[in-house]
Amino acid sequence: MTASSVCEMGTDNIRHLIFMAGRWRYKPSARMKPHGFKFTTLSKGNVIGGKNHPTAEDKARAIGLNEEWDRIRNGEAISRPRWPSGSVGEAYDRVLKLRSAARATKGEKRNKDQDSRDDWIRAWKWLGPAFGDVNPMTIEPEHFLRLDPASGKPKGLIPKIEEKVSVTERHRVIKVWRALWVQMAAMNYTRGKVDPSLAIANSAAAPRQQIWLEGEVVRLCKRAWRMGYKGLAALMAAAWDSQLSPIDLRSLTTWQRADDLHGAIFALARAKTNRPAAGSLGKRATRLLDAYIASLRFELLPNAPIFRTRGSGTTAKGGKPHQPAPYTKNKLGFDFRVVRAAEFGPDETRQLADMRRSGTVEATAGGASAHAISTKMANTLAASNRLQQTYNPVNIATVRDVDANRREGRAKLRKNKPGRKV
């Protein structure tokens, strides 16, 4: 039976064609999705005799997809492309492969944590559903922002992201879109068309300004230890002294550790930038770290993550206790919020990552230069160029100098009794 003959039969049921939330949609089965079939929204259809009916175009589209699936499952055809030819999705896949190839030429490898923090992959969760199967030549500024004539409220991708997540997330997504458009232009997908998002400003949200004070972090560590979150207590102490990000702290191992007269030092490559860093700890944080490692009921292997959850406290078969799991991103955030609320109440909103900024405030108040702080944090705070990166690599002396500057700045901040804003 041809598609045209079925389209004329208004009473026939077509596989995977459903009416949902006011529109006709094509809903592929779980078996079809790995072969490139996607949930597709069609038209509103027609209302005849008080009942909803799909249009001829909706039927033809569904029948064509079903026929394609029949050929695939009968072995007559291979899987359909993930995205239509010339679409934004096709260009995005090509760009990801080029980025992977560029990393491979440098010998870089990625793990799951790094993939989860990749702005391109994160932004595609919004861009894919909106533009994945769309020809970029048909995209206009109104797809990003417009006024709904009925309600007078803003509609489009931008207000959708801001409403469901945040202004920061919107800023990130549009930045990735603009970078993707440049790549699409280079691959001749846009044929000279100007990026439609440029008609709308992509202003960044105000940066976070919250900081912790040393005494508050000490209270958090003590509270966590007493509540049984010993791994979290040691991790927070390490976060305060080292100024490493949570993702870097979660991956620290004893194999990366060395010690000098001032305490422990961890040599690592930062997860986000892959730049070499030295995470230095003071004597007090080192003692807490050693006490935590000694409290573990199992031998910590040199390449195993140090900081772990509380564990179940139960015993497995054979009399061996269950090993507490290494901290994940979500579990670390959850446990930190529990301890934070126990010590400072449910209205406290400061984050573990704010300790990184707090150290910079202390070091700056103590007279540390931007370049020294950049060396300590392994970032581009000093906007150093390639020669500076080449001829001024991370060194322990500079890192320890920043630690000393932090102690001087800490003393000044205590006298001035600052608030939590920078």
Q: Are 381 and 402 in contact (CB under 8 A)?
A: no
**pTM, full prediction:** 0.62
DSSP secondary-structure letter at 394?
-
Do residue 234 and residue 193 come from a single domain?
no
Q: Is 390 domain-assigned?
A: yes
- pLDDT (0 to 100) of residue 272: 62
Residue 249 has a CB neighbour count (10 Å cut-off) of: 24
Residue 109 has a CB neighbour count (10 Å cut-off) of: 9
Nearest to 308 by CA among 224, 375, 243, 373: 224
Residue 395 confidence class, pLDDT cut points 50, 70, 90:
low
Q: Are 267 and 278 in contact (CB under 8 A)?
A: yes
Tell me the CATH number at 340: 1.10.443.10
What CA–CA distance (Å, rounded) separates 266 from 164? 38
Do residue 9 and residue 41 come from a single domain?
yes
Q: What are the pLDDT digits (tens) for 172-192?
A: 999 999 999 999 999 999 999
Do residue 131 and residue 271 come from a single domain?
no
H/E run at residue 280: strand 276-280
Strand order in the sheet with 263-269: 257-260, 263-269, 276-280
Q: Is 354 domain-assigned?
A: yes
- pLDDT (0 to 100) of residue 4: 37
The counts of H helices and E strands in the chain are 16, 10
Q: What are the pLDDT digits (tens) for 310-339?
A: 874 445 555 555 678 999 999 999 999 999
Do residue 407 and residue 285 come from a single domain?
yes
**Taking 60 as the threshold, does the pLDDT of residue 418 lie above it?**
no
H/E run at residue 324: none
Strand partners, 321: 315
What CA–CA distance (Å, rounded) separates 334 from 77? 48
**Taking 80 as the threshold, does the pLDDT of residue 382 lie above it?**
no
Compute the average pLDDT of residues 189-201: 96
Residues 6+ apart with CB under 8 A from 24: 17, 18, 42, 43, 44, 45, 52, 54, 55, 58
Number of structural domains found in the chain: 3
**Taking 50 as the threshold, does the pLDDT of residue 48 lie above it?**
yes
Domain that holds residue 169: 88-199
Do residue 359 and residue 231 come from a single domain?
yes
Residue 419 confidence class, pLDDT cut points 50, 70, 90:
low
Q: What are the pLDDT digits (tens) for 62-85?
A: 998 999 899 888 888 776 677 888
Q: Is 82 domain-assigned?
A: no
- pLDDT (0 to 100) of residue 74: 87
**Taking 80 as the threshold, does the pLDDT of residue 90 lie above it?**
yes
Q: What are the pLDDT digits (tens) for 209-255?
A: 888 999 999 999 999 999 999 999 999 999 999 989 898 899 999 99
If DSSP codes are grouped into helix, strand and coil, which group holds residue 94?
helix
